[in-house]
């Protein structure tokens, strides 16, 4: 841990701050909804005196969330929610220009990653924010006495919400949590359009391959994966979808994609990407039988979707060819190209989602924080979603910022929609 102006921190290099500040400013210009909240927070100081520990991807968009919460009066500390997603210039600027304690270095090993989580929790926060439930998990497994000081937590992503709902089901949850991912203004836009564009961006930055004409396999047809499939199709790839849910598989068929079993799909795939939130999706058996020269990427939360341990086990040789691109030659002579160690390709090989979608995700985070505080002592140890009213207000502000107007129900229509007497 280092110190500057009494601020504890651990970032790569403070001399990167100048570029970081410019990037934070650039993102702010694309985040009008968050800016409106920031202005109100600045006037009302709803978070005055509150300590917040955040474990999020350290990006220019996250920086704008952190500055919004600080403007609301909070003391906020930040660590990374993935060892490879930190933008070092942003981490440096947050420390140097904005006096935020940040603990995050791109490429940190697992030991440092968890040390950084412990460092933000050492601040004794009343609210925690997660992208993947790692802080909540640490509070429940290793730092239980601290949980009684927690008013609540908010969770950004699908995998985190799944973990938290499992804790609620097992009656293990020690405080209330807001599932930000469950807001429509989060998963419909961030997961679909954000992951769709930024994952393709990551694959292209890592490989500079042409997508047109390639066999492009997308594992899953949920919010993220359908976004990736849609964008890959738009760039001229032959997209093949794999699924385990018959309804999603049918949806993919009717959206015009080929659907097949994963083993068969990987035999013809030039590029394959996982986005399921599940483990061992590209398994040992498949790795042996994949097309020679296949490019593998993952954009699901954890690096468990592609069995990289098996790749390591059956490799004859491995070379790093360029940023985020490793070549494996397997014992059977086939080549496999793995992007970003099988971690979130959009954040590790590119810059994550564009600010325009993070605007809505992080407006939800800011509201979640305020809501937890407003409802302090009244909530159960459960996973809550934000109200439809908040969702609608975020969507309306976003539309307003885009110069788009939309219709409202008339009194007659409202009455009609809530009655049953009228018919033909
Ligand atoms: P989702 O639940 O909407 O979709 C997941 C889909 O995967 C489901 O349709 C499910 O049936 C399918 N699936 C599960 N196991 C499968 C298997 N073995 N083979 C094929 N399909 C399978 O979830 P989502 O919101 O799309 O999130 C997916 C993952 O992406 C999660 O881990 C989430 O946390 C993560 N995520 C990443 C980013 C990012 O920036 N890269 C952004 C948001 C979410
Ligand atoms: N998750 C996906 N993209 C992101 C971004 N740009 N910032 C923070 N979290 C993200």
* Residue 143 burial (C-beta neighbours within 10 Å; 0-12, 13-18, 19+): middle
Please check whether residues 87 and 149 belong to one and the same domain.
yes
CATH code (residue 274): 3.40.50.720
Q: How far is the CA of 90 from the centre of ligand 2 (A)?
A: 13
Closest ligand 1 atom to 281 CA: 18
Q: Is residue 417 part of a domain?
A: no
**Per-residue confidence of the chain (424 residues) as pLDDT tens digits?**
788 878 899 999 999 999 999 999 999 999 999 999 999 999 999 999 999 999 999 999 999 999 999 999 999 999 999 999 999 999 999 999 999 999 999 999 999 999 999 999 999 999 999 999 999 999 999 999 999 999 999 999 999 999 999 999 999 999 999 999 999 999 999 999 999 999 999 999 999 999 999 999 999 999 999 999 999 999 999 999 999 999 999 999 999 999 999 999 999 999 999 999 999 999 999 999 999 999 999 999 999 999 999 999 999 999 999 999 999 999 999 999 999 999 999 999 999 999 999 999 999 999 999 999 999 999 999 999 999 999 999 999 999 999 999 999 999 999 999 999 988 8
Check if the beta carbon of residue 212 is closer than 8 Å to that of residue 235. yes
Query: Has residue 292 been placed in a domain?
Result: yes
Structure tokens at 49: 């005196």
- Atom 9 (ligand 2): residue with closest C-alpha? 57
Spatial CB neighbours of 394, under 8 Å, sequence gap ≥ 6: 33, 183, 185, 360, 363, 364, 367
CB neighbour class for 295 (10 Å; exposed up to 12, middle 13-18, buried from 19): buried
Pocket test for ligand 1, best of 277, 342, 343 (most atoms within 8 A of CB): 277
Q: What is the largest CA-CA distance in the chain?
A: 73
Handedness of CA 395, 132, 159, 222 (dihedral sign): positive
Q: Are residues 97 and 221 in the same domain?
A: no
- Element at 294 (helix H, strand E): strand 294-298
Whether 157 and 181 have beta carbons less than 8 Å apart is answered as yes
Shared domain check, 362 and 341: no
Do 59 and 9 sit in the same domain of this protein?
Answer: yes
Question: Is there an atom of ligand 1 within 6 Å of 195 CB?
Answer: yes
Q: Is 11 contained in some domain?
A: yes
Within this chain, do residues 237 and 306 fall inside the same structural domain, yes or no?
A: yes
Residue 359 lies in a domain: yes
* Structural domain boundaries, residue 239: 193-348
Q: Are residues 131 and 209 in the same domain?
A: no
Q: What per-residue confidence (pLDDT) applies to 1?
A: 77
Q: How far is the C-alpha of 310 from the C-alpha of 304, rounded, in Å?
A: 11
CATH of the domain at 180: 3.40.50.1480
Contacts of 127 (CB under 8 A, 6+ apart): 50, 51, 52, 53, 74, 150, 151, 152, 153, 154, 369, 372, 373
Determine the pLDDT at residue 2: 87
> Do 206 and 340 fall within a single domain?
yes
3-state secondary structure of 342: helix
What residue spans of 9-157 are helical by DSSP H? Answer: 17-28, 32-44, 60-71, 88-96, 110-121, 134-141
Rounded to the nearest 5°, which phi and psi values hold at 88? Answer: -60, -30
Ramachandran area for residue 49 (φ above 0: left; ψ -120 to 50: alpha; else beta): left
Last residue of a domain, which of 332, 348, 364?
A: 348
The Å distance, Cα 245 to ligand 1 centre, comes to: 12
Residue 74 domain flag: yes
Do residues 340 and 356 share a domain?
no
- Is any atom of ligand 1 closer than 6 Å to the C-beta of 278? yes
Give me ligand 1 centre to Cα 190, in Å. 13
Question: Other CB atoms closer than 10 Å to residue 313's CB: what's the count?
Answer: 12
> Ligand 2, closest atom to CA 131?
9
Give the model's pLDDT for residue 295.
98
* 407 assigned to some structural domain: no
Q: Pick the ligand that lies closest to the CA of residue 65.
A: 2
Query: H-type helices in 72-149, by residue range?
Result: 88-96, 110-121, 134-141
What's the gap in Å between 66 CA and the centre of ligand 2?
13
Are 44 and 110 within one domain? yes
Q: Is the distance from CB of 32 to CB of 401 less than 8 angstroms? A: yes
What pLDDT is recorded for position 4?
Answer: 80
CB contact set of 161 (below 8 Å; sequence gap of 6+): 155, 179, 181, 182, 383
**In this predicted model, what pLDDT tens digit does every residue of 133-162 receive, in sequence order?**
999 999 999 999 999 999 999 999 999 999
Q: Name every residue whose Cβ is closer than 8 Å to that of residue 309 and which is 6 or more positions away in sequence.
A: none
Model pTM above 0.95: yes
- Nearest-ligand number for the alpha carbon of 265: 1
**Does residue 413 fall inside a structural domain?**
no
Q: How far is the CA of 191 from the centre of ligand 1 (A)?
A: 9
Q: Quick one: 243 and 344 in the same domain?
A: yes
Assess whether 208 and 306 both reside in one domain. Answer: yes
Give the closest residue (by CA) to ligand 1 atom 22: 220
Question: How far away, in angstroms, is 63 Cα from ligand 1 center?
Answer: 26
Exposure of 421 in the CB half-sphere (CA atoms within 13 A): 1
pLDDT tens, residue by residue, 82-94: 999 999 999 999 9
Whether 174 and 200 map to the same domain: the answer is: no
Number of domains in the chain: 2
Beta carbons within 10 angstroms of residue 269's beta carbon? 26
Instruction: Report the relative pairing of strands 102-103 and 315-322 from DSSP bridges.
Output: unpaired
pLDDT, tens digit (0-9, with 9 covering 90-100), for 49-65: 999 999 999 999 999 99
Which residues have C-beta atoms less than 6 Å from ligand 2?
Answer: 56-57, 59, 61-62, 194, 347, 352-353, 358
The first and second tokens of residue 208, run together, are: 């500079």
248 lines ligand 1 (CB under 6 A): yes
Which atom of ligand 1 is nearest the CA belonging to 345? 41
Give the distance (Å) from ligand 2 centre to CA of residue 61.
Answer: 7
Cβ(186)–Cβ(361) below 8 Å: yes
CA-nearest residue for atom 1, ligand 1, is: 222
**137 inside domain:** yes
């Amino acid at each position: 841990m280092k110190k500057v102006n009494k601020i504890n921190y651990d970032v790569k290099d403070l001399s990167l701050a100048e570029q970081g500040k410019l990037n934070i400013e650039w993102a702010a210009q694309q985040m009008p909804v968050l800016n409106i909240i920031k202005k109100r927070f600045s006037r009302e100081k709803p978070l005055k005196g509150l300590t917040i520990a955040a474990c999020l991807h350290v990006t220019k968009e996250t920086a704008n969330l952190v500055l919004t919460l600080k403007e609301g009066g909070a003391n906020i500390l930040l660590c990374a929610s993935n060892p490879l997603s930190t933008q070092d210039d942003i981490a440096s600027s947050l420390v140097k220009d904005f006096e935020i304690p940040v603990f995050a270095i791109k490429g940190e090993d697992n030991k440092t990653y968890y040390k950084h989580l412990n460092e933000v929790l050492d601040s004794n926060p009343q609210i925690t924010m997660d992208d993947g439930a790692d802080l909540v998990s640490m509070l429940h497994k290793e730092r239980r006495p601290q949980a009684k000081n927690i008013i609540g937590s908010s969770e950004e992503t699908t995998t985190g919400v799944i973990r938290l709902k499992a804790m609620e089901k097992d009656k293990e949850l020690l405080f209330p949590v807001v599932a930000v991912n469950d807001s429509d203004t989060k998963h419909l836009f961030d997961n679909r359009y954000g992951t769709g564009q930024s994952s393709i961006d990551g694959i292209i930055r890592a490989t500079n391959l042409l997508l047109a004409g390639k066999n492009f396999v997308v594992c899953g047809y949920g919010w993220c994966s359908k976004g990736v499939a849609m964008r890959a199709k738009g760039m001229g790839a032959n997209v093949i979808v794999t699924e385990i849910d018959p309804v999603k598989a049918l949806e993919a068929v009717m959206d015009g994609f080929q659907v097949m079993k994963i083993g068969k799909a990987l035999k013809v795939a030039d590029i394959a990407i996982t986005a399921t939130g599940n483990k061992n999706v590209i398994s040992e058996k498949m790795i042996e039988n994949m097309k020679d020269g296949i490019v593998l990427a993952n954009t699901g939360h954890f690096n468990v979707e592609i069995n990289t341990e098996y790749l390591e086990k059956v490799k004859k040789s491995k070379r790093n060819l360029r940023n985020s691109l490793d070549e494996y030659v397997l014992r059977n002579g086939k080549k496999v190209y793995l992007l970003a160690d099988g971690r979130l390709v959009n954040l590790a090989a590119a810059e994550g989602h564009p600010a325009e979608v993070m605007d809505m995700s992080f407006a939800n985070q800011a509201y979640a924080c305020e809501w937890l505080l407003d409802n302090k002592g009244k909530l159960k140890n459960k996973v809550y979603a934000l109200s439809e009213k908040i969702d609608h207000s975020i969507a309306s502000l976003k539309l307003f910022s885009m110069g788009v107007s939309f219709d409202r129900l008339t009194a007659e229509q409202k009455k009609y929609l809530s009655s049953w007497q009228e018919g033909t």
